[in-house]
Homo-oligomer: A and B are copies of this chain.
């Protein structure tokens, strides 16, 4: 058994090839990650073979499914993304947003989210 504060999990920078703007990742388990997005930072478009569940821990952010308008979310919200659904998520322009991300299998990474897409 191990016991430690969540803040003690080492934060490593998310790769520039898959994220825009400074993003930090803390791996809790092989399927569970805390991800902290600085204001305006976001993932690239991507898909999960078995879907993904986000639990927003702090701040506010945006999530968009391909072909739909972006949705706003905030601390205490849950977002579930279906298997194979092309989407991105990230912080609002004025918020540091941290979420817990749960997913299984290999993420399929696609194009970066342009500023025009982010601004909607």
Contacts and interface: CB of A to CB of B under 8 A. Distances in A.
Interface residues of A, number: 30
Nearest to A65: B1
- Which label, helix, strand, loop or mixed, suits the secondary structure of the A interface? strand
A77 interface: yes
Contact of A63 (B1, B7, B80): B1
A65 to B, nearest CB: 5
A32 interface: yes
A73 to B, nearest CB: 6
A113 B82 CA distance: 39
A31 B31 contact: yes
A3 B76 contact: no
A71 B1 CA distance: 10
Interface of A: 1-7, 9, 28-29, 31-32, 53, 55, 63, 65, 68, 71, 73, 76-82, 85, 87, 100, 102
28 contacts: A1-B71, A1-B79, A1-B81, A1-B82, A1-B85, A1-B87, A2-B78, A2-B80, A3-B71, A3-B73, A3-B78, A3-B79, A3-B80, A4-B77, A4-B78, A5-B76, A5-B77, A5-B78, A6-B76, A6-B77, A7-B76, A28-B55, A28-B78, A28-B102, A29-B102, A31-B102, A32-B102, A100-B100
